[in-house]
C-alpha cells in the first residue's frame, strides 16, 4: 500500500511546468504587483501566525498599552473660547487679533446683557404705553438683581460699565461722584423720565436722604459739595449732560444722560420698524435694552485695594465669578419678569449665557455614549451568533466592540497627551463616528476567519485570515487616516483639532484591529477547539463534538455522478518566475476533467452551495440517501447567500447594468444642480437647541436687531500727527460702505480725531472770547473760563524739550488750522490735555489709545507755573474708530461688508496708514472668503492621495482609478444632497465632505480587491467579489449607522442636521456606490485578472489524485524549485457531468472552450491541452 501523503505534499504525479511550455499567465506586466502583494501578504501571514501562537501575551500587552493611553483623558482640556475655536492660527485675522490683545489686553472694554421684548402675537405694534410699561417692569427687575458672593452683596451699580467718570483731586468726593455716576444702559426708556429709574447709583450727604438719579438736582448738589472741592469741571460736565426730556419721542432714537455724547440710534432700540411716506415712525415690533458691565479685569482693577474687598483675597478669577453669577441671575429674573398672561414676552441673553451653551455643547453625554455602545454590543453579538456553536462568534463580537471602545478612548487619551484640545465636535461626534468605522474592520476579520480555506492547519488560521483581509483593512485605515489629515487643511482650529483627533483615533483602531483583535479570534478558535459554548465558554458545546470527514472516492472514468451538478473548492496554486522569458507562471495541480464555465457567469457554477466540508458532506449524504426533501432555506440564509443567489444574478444582467448606470447618472446630474443651491454660513441659531429660551432670543435678535459693533483699528508704524488727512479719508471711505449704519441726519460721523479736533476748536473759541474781553492776558489766565485757561496752556507749548514754552504764540497760532488739521507740534501735547479734560468725549469716541496718554490734572489757580508743563503723549500704536454694521442677514452680506472693509484698509495703506477692521464679523465670517477654495483643494489633494495609496497597495492603477471615480461621485452627490436638505456650507460640513472620501473607501476597496484577485470573466469576478464582500460591507454600514444613531438623540439640532443627517446620507451613498455602482463598473471596465488558471499537460496523469482526508488542498513540495512562491487565491473548479440527452446546453462562453474532446490525439491520452494566455481576450 502506498504511503499516504502529508498535508503539505503535492501529488506524486504532479510535474512542474517546463520552461518550454506555452505562456501560462498574462505577459509579465503583472509580475511585480503579484510579487509585492505576495511579499506583503507573507508578512501579514507571519504576523497572524505569531499573534495566534502568543495570543494571550499579545492580548495582555495590547490591553495594557491601550489602557495606559486611555488614562491620558484625565489631562484633557475642553476648549470653549470662540476665538480659539474659529480663528485660524497664523492667519491675517489671528495676527490682527493678537496685535489687539498685545495693546489692549485679552478682554473687551465691556460685556453686553440684552433684553428684547416682542409681542406674543406676531406682527403686533409694540409702540404702545402698555408695552413700554411692561418693558420698564422687566428692565427694573433686571436692574435690581443682586448676588451674594464672598460675603459681599453685588448689584448693578458696582459692576456696571460707567463711561467718562471725571477725575477729582478730593478722594472722598471722587468716590461719591463715582457711586452716583450712572451706568451705561441703552434703552428706549431713556426717551422718558422713567429711564432714570434704571439707575441704581446713590450717594449720601449728612442730614438729607440718599441722592439718586430720580431725585437729583445738579445745581443743588454742586452748591452742597462746593466747600469740599473745586467742581467747576464737573459743573460744565453736568451742563453738557442734560436730563432726558419727558416729551421726547422714540422717533430718531433716544439720548442717555448726556445729550451731547450719548445718542442711541433707532436701530439699537427698535426692531421691525415701519414708516409713512414722509419717513415718520409708525410702528415697531420689538424693543431692546442693553446693560453694559465691566470686564473681569476691569472689575478686579476697580476694587483692588478697596476697603470692600481687602478681606476676601480679591482676584481676577473672583471678579469673573461675580460677573457670571450676576449675569445668570439677570437672565433668569428678566425672563420671569412678565407673567404668562401678558401680551408681551421678554427674551434675555448675556455673554455668560453663550459660554454656558458652549459648555453644554461640549459636554460628553454619558447616557448617549453608553447607549450607543450597548446598542452596538447587542448588534455585534446577535449578528455573529450562530445556531452551530462551532461557528458562533457572539463573544468575538462583544470583545471586538469593547476593544474598539478602548481604542477610541486610548486615541483620545493620546490626543490629550499631545496637547490637542477637545471641543464640541470631539465630545459629541467622534466617539460614535470612530465606533462605526472601527467595528467595520471587526466584522470583516470575523467573517474572513470563519471562512478559512478547508484544510488550513489550525496553527495557521489567523495567518490565513490576515493574509486575505489584511490588505483591505490596511488600505481602508490608511485612506481614512489620510482623509482626516487632509481635512486638517481646513483653516478652522476646532475642525483642525477634530480632524487630527479623528486621524489618531482611526490609527489606534487600526492597531487594535490588526494586532489585538487577532488575539481575540485566536482565543475563540481555542474555545471552539475545546468544544466550549459561545459567550458562556465555561460550558461544553454538544454541537461541536461532531467530526466531519470526507473520504475520497474514486470516480470511474474521471466523471462526476449526475447527481453532483457542481463542486466549488478552494485550491492552492504554484507560482514561479521563468528565468528565460521573465514571465510569472502560475499553475494548478490537475484534479479532474475540467470544462469551461458556461457563458452565463451567474449560473450554478458560481452560485451553488459553498465549498465547505459541510456542504460536501450534505451533497454526499443526499446522493447516497436520495432524499426527496431539502433543508429549510431560512436555516442556511445569510447575506452571502443572498448576494450569491439573488443580488448578483439580478445586478449583473445587461439590462440591469444599463438601469444602474442611468439612475446613478441621473443622481449625479441632480446633485450637480443641488450643489448650486448650497449657501455658505453657520448662524448661532443653528447651534443652540431649538425650543429653548436662548434660541428664541437669538432668533429675535437675528430678525430685528442684526447689528454688529466693529472698529477700524489704526496701528503704529506711521506718524499720526502728519497723517490726519489720510485718517479722515479712511474714516470717510469706511463710513460709505453699504453695511455701515449711517448716523442721524443731524449728526455728522464722529471719530476720536473728530472729537479731539472739535474739543480744541471749542476751547479755542473760549480763549478768543476771554482774550477779547480781557479776562486772559499774556501773563494771566486765572480770570478766564476753564476752557480758555486750557487753551492758554496749550497755545504756549512749543513741543521742544529745551524751550517748551513760548508766550508769544498766544495770538499768532491756532489750535486747529484753516484746513481742520491740528498742528503736528501740538498733536501729542494736546492729546494729553484732551484725554484728561474731556472724559465724556473720550468715552464716546471709544478710541482705546495705546500707549495711553499720561495723567495730568488741570489747576487754573496754580501760580507756580508747573501746571503749564503738559507732558506729551507717546506716539500712538493703537487707536480705533467705532462703527455699527446693519442689514447683515446672509453670509453673502457679511462677505460683501468684509471685502469692502478690507479694500478700504488696503487703499489707506497706500497712503501710509496701517489699519485693519476688527469685530465679530471679521473673526467668524472671514473664513468664508476662502472656504470653498480650501474645500476644493483638500478634496483634490485627497483624491490624488487616495489614488496613490490604492495604486501602491492594490498595485493596480486601473482599479485605483475606478475607486477614485466612485469616491468623487459620492462627494459631489453628498454636496448636492446638502443643498436639497438646506444644510449650509461651513467648516463643519467641509470636514465631513473631505472625510467622506476616506469613509467611502470602506465601501469600495473590499469589492475592488475581491474583483482584482479572482479569476474568470469580468461578470464572474464581479459576482464573486459581491459574494465575498456583501456581508461584511453591509454589516459595516449597519454598524456605522448604529454608531450614528445616538447622534439623532442629541439636544442640539446642529448635531442632528450637520452630523447625523450628513453622515447617514454618506453611509447610504457609500453602500449604494460600493455594492451597486462599483460592481457594475468593474463588470464593464474592470482590469484583467492578475492570476490565470492554467493546467499543465502531463501524460502521466491518468486519474485525479486523491486528496488527503479533511480538505482539498495541496502544499508546496520540498522538491519544487526555490523560485516557486505560494500564492493562495480563491479559484473555482467546476466538475460537470456529461449532459443527458435532451438537456439544455449553455451557449459558448466568452473564454476559449476546453473539453476532453479537444485534446489532441497525438498525446495518446485523454489529458488536457495546455491553455494559453486567454484572459487577455475578455
pLDDT at 1122: 37
| pTM: predicted TM-score of the whole model, two decimal places | 0.69
* Mean pLDDT over each residue of the chain, to the nearest integer: 74
pLDDT at 916: 92
Are 720 and 875 in contact, with CB atoms under 8 Å apart? yes
Which position has the grid cell 472729537?
A: 755
45 three-class SS: helix
Per-residue pLDDT tens for 211-231?
A: 655 555 555 555 655 554 555
- The confidence band for 588, taking pLDDT boundaries of 50, 70 and 90, is very low
The pLDDT of residue 18 is above 50: no
Q: Give the mean pLDDT of 339-361.
A: 81
Q: Which of 389, 696, 684, 742 is nearest to 531 (CA)?
A: 389
pLDDT at 658: 93
Spatial distance between the Cα atoms of 377 and 392, rounded to a whole number of angstroms: 15
Residue 149, Cβ density class (10 Å: 0-12 exposed, 13-18 middle, ≥19 buried): middle
- The confidence band for 65, taking pLDDT boundaries of 50, 70 and 90, is very high
- The confidence band for 966, taking pLDDT boundaries of 50, 70 and 90, is very high
Q: Which of 534-543, 791-800, 932-941, 1024-1033 has the lowest mean pLDDT?
A: 534-543
Q: Give the mean pLDDT of 99-118.
A: 78
Q: Give the mean pLDDT of 524-549.
A: 61
Q: Give the mean pLDDT of 1078-1085.
A: 92
Cα–Cα distances in Å, from 276 out to 112, 282, 742? Answer: 33, 6, 20
Cα-atom radius of gyration of the chain, to the nearest Å? Answer: 42
502 three-class SS: helix
Q: Give the mean pLDDT of 111-137.
A: 87
Pairing between β-strand 915-919 and β-strand 708-715 as defined by DSSP bridges: antiparallel
Calculated CA dihedral for residues 445, 450, 456, 457, nearest 10 degrees: 80
Are 648 and 607 in contact, with CB atoms under 8 Å apart? yes
Q: Which of 1174, 963, 1178, 973 is nearest to 1079 (CA)?
A: 963
Q: Which of 60, 190, 206 is nearest to 136 (CA)?
A: 190
Per-residue pLDDT tens for 239-274?
A: 444 444 333 457 777 766 666 667 788 888 888 888
Q: Which of 445, 440, 442 is nearest to 469 (CA)?
A: 445
Are 166 and 177 in contact, with CB atoms under 8 Å apart? yes
Q: What percent of the chain has pLDDT over 90?
A: 16
Q: Give the mean pLDDT of 844-863.
A: 82
Higher pLDDT, 588 or 377: 377
Are 118 and 135 in contact, with CB atoms under 8 Å apart? no
Cis peptide before 851 (omega within 30 of 0): yes
The pLDDT of residue 742 is above 70: yes
Higher pLDDT, 55 or 844: 55
Per-residue pLDDT tens for 852-861?
A: 899 888 777 7
Are 159 and 293 in contact, with CB atoms under 8 Å apart? yes
SS3 per residue for 1015-1053: CCCHHHHHHHHHHHHHHHHHHHHHHHHHHHHHHHHCCCH
- The confidence band for 1051, taking pLDDT boundaries of 50, 70 and 90, is confident
Spatial distance between the Cα atoms of 534 and 540, rounded to a whole number of angstroms: 9
pLDDT at 1150: 40
928 three-class SS: helix
Per-residue pLDDT tens for 161-171?
A: 876 555 554 45
Q: Give the mean pLDDT of 86-109.
A: 75
Spatial distance between the Cα atoms of 381 and 682, rounded to a whole number of angstroms: 40
Which position has the grid cell 484640545?
A: 421
Per-residue pLDDT tens for 760-800?
A: 999 999 999 999 998 888 888 888 888 888 898 888 888 77
- The confidence band for 178, taking pLDDT boundaries of 50, 70 and 90, is low
Per-residue pLDDT tens for 184-199?
A: 888 888 887 677 677 7
Residue 809, Cβ density class (10 Å: 0-12 exposed, 13-18 middle, ≥19 buried): middle
Amino acid at each position: 500500500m502506498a504511503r499516504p501523503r502529508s498535508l503539505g505534499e503535492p501529488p506524486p504525479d504532479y510535474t512542474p511546468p517546463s520552461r518550454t511550455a506555452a505562456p501560462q499567465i498574462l505577459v509579465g506586466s503583472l509580475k511585480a504587483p503579484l510579487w509585492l502583494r505576495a511579499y506583503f501578504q507573507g508578512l501579514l501571514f507571519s504576523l497572524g501566525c505569531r499573534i495566534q501562537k502568543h495570543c494571550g501575551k499579545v492580548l495582555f500587552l495590547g490591553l495594557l498599552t491601550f489602557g495606559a493611553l486611555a488614562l491620558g483623558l484625565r489631562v484633557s482640556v475642553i476648549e470653549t473660547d470662540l476665538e480659539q475655536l474659529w480663528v485660524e492660527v497664523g492667519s491675517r485675522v489671528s495676527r490682527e487679533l493678537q496685535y489687539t490683545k498685545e495693546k489692549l489686553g485679552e478682554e473687551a472694554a465691556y460685556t453686553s446683557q440684552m433684553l428684547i421684548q416682542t409681542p406674543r402675537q406676531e406682527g403686533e405694534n409694540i409702540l404702545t404705553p402698555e408695552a413700554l410699561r411692561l418693558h420698564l417692569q422687566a428692565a427694573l427687575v433686571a436692574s435690581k438683581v443682586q448676588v451674594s458672593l464672598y460675603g459681599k452683596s453685588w448689584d448693578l451699580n458696582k459692576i456696571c460699565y460707567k463711561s467718562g467718570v471725571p477725575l477729582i483731586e478730593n478722594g472722598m468726593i471722587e468716590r461719591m461722584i463715582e457711586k452716583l455716576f450712572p451706568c451705561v444702559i441703552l434703552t428706549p426708556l431713556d426717551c422718558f423720565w422713567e429711564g432714570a429709574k434704571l439707575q441704581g447709583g446713590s450717594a449720601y450727604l449728612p442730614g438729607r436722604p440718599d441722592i439718586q438719579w430720580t431725585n437729583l438736582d445738579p445745581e443743588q448738589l454742586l452748591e452742597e459739595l462746593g466747600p469740599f472741592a473745586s467742581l467747576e469741571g464737573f459743573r460744565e460736565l453736568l451742563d453738557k449732560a442734560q436730563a432726558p426730556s419727558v416729551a421726547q419721542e422714540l422717533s430718531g432714537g433716544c439720548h442717555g444722560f448726556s445729550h451731547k455724547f450719548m445718542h442711541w440710534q433707532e436701530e439699537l432700540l427698535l426692531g421691525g420698524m415701519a414708516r409713512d411716506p414722509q419717513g415718520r415712525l409708525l410702528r415697531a415690533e420689538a424693543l431692546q435694552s442693553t446693560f453694559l458691565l465691566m470686564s473681569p479685569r476691569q472689575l478686579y482693577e476697580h476694587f483692588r485695594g478697596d476697603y470692600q474687598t481687602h478681606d476676601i483675597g480679591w482676584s481676577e478669577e473672583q471678579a469673573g465669578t461675580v460677573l457670571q453669577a450676576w449675569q445668570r441671575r439677570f437672565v433668569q429674573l428678566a425672563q420671569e419678569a412678565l407673567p404668562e398672561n401678558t401680551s408681551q414676552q421678554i427674551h434675555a441673553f448675556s455673554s455668560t449665557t453663550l459660554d454656558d451653551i458652549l459648555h453644554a455643547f461640549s459636554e460628553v453625554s454619558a447616557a448617549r455614549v453608553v447607549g450607543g455602545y450597548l446598542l452596538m454590543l447587542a448588534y455585534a453579538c446577535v449578528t455573529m451568533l450562530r445556531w452551530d456553536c462551532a461557528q458562533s462568534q457572539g463573544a468575538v463580537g462583544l470583545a471586538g466592540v469593547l476593544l474598539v471602545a478602548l481604542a477610541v478612548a486610548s486615541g483620545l487619551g493620546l490626543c490629550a497627551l499631545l496637547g490637542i484640545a477637545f471641543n464640541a465636535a470631539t465630545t459629541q461626534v467622534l466617539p460614535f463616528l470612530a465606533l462605526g468605522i472601527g467595528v467595520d474592520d471587526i466584522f470583516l476579520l470575523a467573517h474572513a476567519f470563519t471562512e478559512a480555506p478547508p484544510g488550513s492547519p489550525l496553527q495557521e488560521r489567523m495567518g490565513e485570515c490576515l493574509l486575505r483581509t489584511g490588505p483591505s483593512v490596511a488600505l481602508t485605515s490608511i485612506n481614512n487616516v489620510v482623509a482626516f489629515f487632509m481635512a486638517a487643511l481646513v483653516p478652522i482650529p476646532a475642525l483642525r483639532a477634530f480632524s487630527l483627533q479623528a486621524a489618531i483615533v482611526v490609527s489606534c483602531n487600526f492597531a487594535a484591529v490588526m494586532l489585538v483583535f487577532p488575539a481575540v479570534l485566536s482565543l475563540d478558535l481555542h474555545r471552539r477547539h475545546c468544544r466550549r459554548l459561545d459567550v458562556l465558554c465555561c460550558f461544553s458545546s454538544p454541537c461541536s463534538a461532531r467530526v466531519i470527514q470526507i473520504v475520497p472516492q474514486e470516480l470511474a472514468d474521471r466523471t462526476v455522478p449526475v447527481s453532483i451538478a457542481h463542486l466549488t473548492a478552494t485550491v492552492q496554486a504554484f507560482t514561479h518566475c521563468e528565468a528565460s522569458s521573465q514571465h510569472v507562471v502560475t499553475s494548478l495541480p490537475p484534479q479532474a476533467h475540467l470544462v469551461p464555465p458556461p457563458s452565463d457567469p451567474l449560473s450554478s457554477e458560481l452560485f451553488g452551495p459553498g465549498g465547505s466540508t459541510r456542504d460536501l458532506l450534505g451533497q454526499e449524504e443526499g446522493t447516497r440517501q436520495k432524499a426527496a426533501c431539502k433543508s429549510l432555506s431560512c436555516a442556511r440564509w445569510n447575506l452571502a447567500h443572498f448576494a450569491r443567489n439573488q443580488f448578483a444574478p439580478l445586478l449583473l444582467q445587461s439590462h440591469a447594468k444599463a438601469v444602474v448606470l442611468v439612475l446613478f447618472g441621473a443622481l449625479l446630474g441632480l446633485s450637480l444642480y443641488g450643489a448650486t443651491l448650497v449657501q455658505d454660513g453657520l448662524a448661532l441659531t443653528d447651534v443652540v437647541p431649538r425650543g429653548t429660551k436662548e434660541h428664541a432670543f437669538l432668533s429675535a435678535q437675528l430678525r430685528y436687531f442684526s447689528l454688529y459693533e466693529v472698529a477700524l483699528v489704526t496701528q503704529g508704524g506711521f506718524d499720526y500727527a502728519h497723517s490726519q488727512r489720510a485718517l479722515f479719508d479712511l474714516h470717510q471711505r469706511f463710513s460709505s460702505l453699504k453695511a455701515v449704519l449711517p448716523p442721524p441726519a443731524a449728526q455728522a460721523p464722529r471719530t476720536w480725531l473728530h472729537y479731539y479736533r472739535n474739543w480744541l476748536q471749542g476751547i479755542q473759541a473760549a480763549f478768543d472770547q476771554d482774550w477779547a474781553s480781557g479776562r486772559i492776558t499774556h501773563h494771566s489766565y486765572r480770570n478766564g473760563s476753564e476752557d480758555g485757561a486750557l487753551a492758554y496752556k496749550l497755545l504756549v507749548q512749543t513741543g521742544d524739550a529745551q524751550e517748551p514754552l513760548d508766550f508769544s504764540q498766544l495770538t499768532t497760532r491756532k489750535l486747529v488750522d484753516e484746513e481742520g488739521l491740528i498742528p503736528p507740534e501740538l498733536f501729542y501735547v494736546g492729546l494729553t490735555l484732551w484725554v484728561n479734560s474731556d472724559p465724556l468725549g473720550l468715552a464716546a469716541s471709544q478710541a482705546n489709545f495705546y500707549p495711553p496718554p499720561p495723567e495730568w490734572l488741570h489747576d487754573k489757580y496754580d501760580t507756580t507755573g508747573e501746571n503749564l508743563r503738559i507732558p506729551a503723549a507717546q506716539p500712538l500704536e493703537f487707536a480705533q474708530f467705532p462703527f455699527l454694521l446693519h442689514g447683515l442677514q446672509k453670509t453673502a452680506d457679511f462677505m460683501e461688508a468684509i471685502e469692502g472693509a478690507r479694500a478700504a484698509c488696503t487703499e489707506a495703506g497706500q497712503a501710509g496708514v496701517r489699519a485693519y477692521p476688527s469685530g465679530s464679523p471679521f473673526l467668524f465670517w472671514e473664513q468664508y472668503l476662502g472656504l470653498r477654495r480650501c474645500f476644493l483643494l483638500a478634496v483634490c489633494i485627497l483624491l490624488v492621495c487616495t489614488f496613490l495609496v490604492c495604486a501602491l497597495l492594490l498595485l493596480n492603477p486601473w482599479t485605483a482609478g475606478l475607486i477614485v471615480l466612485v469616491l468623487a461621485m459620492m462627494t459631489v452627490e453628498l454636496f448636492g444632497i446638502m443643498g436639497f436638505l438646506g444644510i449650509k456650507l461651513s467648516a463643519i460640513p467641509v470636514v465631513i465632505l473631505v472625510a467622506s472620501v476616506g469613509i467611502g473607501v470602506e465601501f469600495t476597496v473590499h469589492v475592488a480587491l475581491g474583483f482584482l484577485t479572482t479569476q474568470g470573466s469580468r461578470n464572474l469576478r464581479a459576482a464573486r467579489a459581491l459574494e465575498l464582500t456583501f456581508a461584511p460591507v453591509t454589516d459595516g454600514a449597519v454598524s456605522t449607522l448604529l454608531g450614528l444613531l445616538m447622534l439623532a438623540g442629541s439636544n442640539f439640532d446642529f448635531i442632528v442636521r450637520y452630523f447625523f443627517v450628513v453622515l447617514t446620507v454618506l453611509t447610504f451613498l457609500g453602500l449604494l456606490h460600493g455594492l451597486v455602482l462599483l460592481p457594475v463598473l468593474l463588470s464593464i471596465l474592470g482590469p484583467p485578472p492578475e492570476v490565470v488558471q492554467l493546467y499543465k499537460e502531463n501524460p502521466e496523469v491518468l486519474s485525479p489524485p486523491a486528496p488527503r482526508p479533511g480538505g482539498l488542498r495541496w502544499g508546496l513540495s520540498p522538491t519544487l524549485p526555490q523560485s516557486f512562491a505560494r500564492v493562495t487565491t480563491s479559484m473555482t473548479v467546476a466538475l460537470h457531468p456529461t449532459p443527458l440527452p435532451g438537456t439544455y446546453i449553455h451557449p459558448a462562453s466568452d473564454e476559449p472552450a476546453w473539453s476532453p474532446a479537444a485534446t489532441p490525439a497525438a498525446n495518446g491520452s485523454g489529458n488536457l491541452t495546455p491553455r494559453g494566455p486567454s484572459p487577455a481576450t475578455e
